[in-house]
Structure 1
Amino acid sequence: SQEHDDPMAYIHFTAEGEVTFKSILFVPNSAPRGLFDEYGSKKSDFIKLYVRRVFITDDFHDMMPKYLNFVKGVVDSDDLPLNVSRETLQQHKLLKVIRKKLVRKTLDMIKKIAEEKYNDTFWKEFGTNVKLGVIEDHSNRTRLAKLLRFQSSHHESNLTSLDQYVERMKEKQDKIYFMAGASRKEAESSPFVERLLKKGYEVIYLTEPVDEYCIQALPEFDGKRFQNVAKEGVKFEESEKSKESREALEKDFEPLLNWMKDKALKDKIEKAVLSQRLTQSPCALVASQYGWSGNMERIMKAQAYQTGKDISTNYYASQKKTFEINPRHPLIKDMLRRVKENEDDKTVSDLAVVLFETATLRSGYMLPDTKEYGDRIERMLRLSLNIDLDAKVDEEPEEPEEAAEEAEQDEEEVDAEESETQK
């Protein structure tokens, strides 16, 4: 194996049944160099196959699944044929049985790594492999899900397992909440988590590009479904009094909601609704259950850029979003007043679009036209400072050297004209 250090974990076993073989497997203390280079296309030489103690090969493509390409070890079986070509042996049905047992034993070995060592060492080195396993290995998905670790709002630095999250869930909570972002700071400062955190719900933070794919591959965990808090579907239990209050607010804000949907933001949103998830932010842009979150859109655009693909017509990318507004925010309350007074007010329309574009950015999405956004911000600043919208920028004074050069050029042109006249 060319390893000189003690392994992080190892297992030595004899398997019996349809095929009998002996094996020793181990996890190295650090990830091999280039672990994800040409992932899936490069053959692993970490598992060495022996038949009756005679070395056969370490060049089998499917001896271990791709996501376990870091596991090293030896397999020795008396049941495999010795006098056949390597290509024929690779297609032997007993190899599939061996592979299945190797995967199960490997996952058992990883599961037995002490919690502190697992979080501090194994997850740092091989966490991405586990996430890829959840995506790729349907038959072992439940086992792999128990090995996942994520950051969460429960602790500033410690990782949490899904089992631990479920144990801490509030009474009557039926979903596992998660928020995806480029960093923990971005995720925990998102408007989408405001009310959840205020109410004491724990939120899992997904900060790696593969994380959201991983969770999407899990329909549920321990009977609890996952809820992306940047998408529709976040609802809270409410008392009869709270329900009446919400319905009254919806009636009061109906003119503003209809105006946004049918006029100010007509081509930009699917609908406008009062938000249950916002406490401090004025608004947010929420994806449908089938649309992309801001984080996923950023990942997909980056991948499309690398491959030269155009994703603008993609079904998920083209899904219109819901514009959620906070009825208790002073900006929203003042907009309601202005719309009731005059819904054709250009300033209010500008404000609505600026709010929408700001919500787009704060919700993790990218603006298609940043120049228009900048122009609108400038107009709003001019209005707030009582500066005429048509006021021009002062012309720059000419530099002395530039003025002299222009004068000299003028003299040369005059001399040339006089010379031409004399001719």
Structure 2
Amino acid sequence: MPAPIAADREEVARRLERYVAVDSPNPALEPGQGEAEMADLLAADLTELGARIVRQEALPGRRNVIGRFDVDPALPTIVLDAHVDTVPRGEAGGPRWQGDTLFGRGACDNKGSLAAMVEAARLWLRLGRARACNLVVLGTVDEEVSVKGAEAAADIIGRADLIVVGEPTNLSIGVWHKGTTRFAIETTGRSCHSSMPERGDNAIDRMAIVLSRIAGRVRPAIAAMRYEDGVSCVMSVGAIAGGGPLNQVPDHCRIGIDVRRVPGVDSEMIVAAFDEALADLIAEGHVGRGAPFISSRSFRTTAPDALVDLLLDCARRRVPQAGRIGLPFGTNANRLDRFGAPIVVTGPGHIEYAHTADEQIELGEVVQAADFYLDILRRAPALLAASRRGATAPAT
């Protein structure tokens, strides 16, 4: 009797460590080579597995990696996507093991998903003639800033019957996520010597009034914008700058606003809430709201319940508490959904470790995820093929 096809723990550990060892900060956050070395490594690994590689320039000098494993154009196509950029390393540093836990920037966001997907592809190839789908492994740039990698990839990956976006969800199935709106508010005043502040007009004092309005009026209005299970929009003031020498009354101040919007709430609704609360201050001419410089869409899946249920069953065989969830953070899903393919967001690790000084992931979680992704590649094609025909697939 042949041995079951399952993830190789040592192989997964080696690949995960290699990926985390490559520093791949988004160059919009830290100037440098960006994702290039990580993209090259992924392309080499997929080439070794026999993939047909496409390198797509999504932004100047920044290329997505598309690895295609074509079986038969008549079969469903499943895409496994993981972004190859990270936030800057900072104190998280490079890879280091503590027992079976790997620490380092990118460990859970998002090289755990990437390593698991490549291992799943390696295992899927061993199925030989039992393979019932075409497979695309997609490594995208720029997820951490403007998601231009996924936006570009959507143009060339062609028809897909299922897209799985890897992110740290502990294998829960993400079926929606919030969008983002970011903009600035500025106050102006009149400078004077700080020994005679009555001769000036303090822009920071005026900003204090703005902040009080935001706390008392805008935040409750935004919290009242709700989605499933009472999940609401949230906001934060994430940056403030203003003034100059302390012997001078400041004539300018600026704050940066970050709002995470639930599905059904757009940027226009958000800025309208601010404008209503600040209307009299804006009318006086010393308060101004800038146009949003980031306005990313929220996402909700088009995957039918039967497909989500199948994916949940695959997940719960490894993580019994896995569920159907919404995500507070953004992902590639809101750019890859351009052509209507069912998309879910799921992967190993825990989002609370992402972007932190102690970013980490358990090796066992990545091994489980590789088997989970393989299970999807084995079980989902029958349901996807039946969906193409308008039929009902038997449970698998």
TM-score bracket for this pair, using the shorter chain length? under 0.3
Which protein has greater RCO, CA pairs closer than 8 Å, 6+ apart? 2
Computing the radius of gyration from Cα coordinates, the structure with the larger value is 1
TM-score by length of 2: 0.23
TM-score by length of 1: 0.22
Give the structure with the larger strand fraction. 2
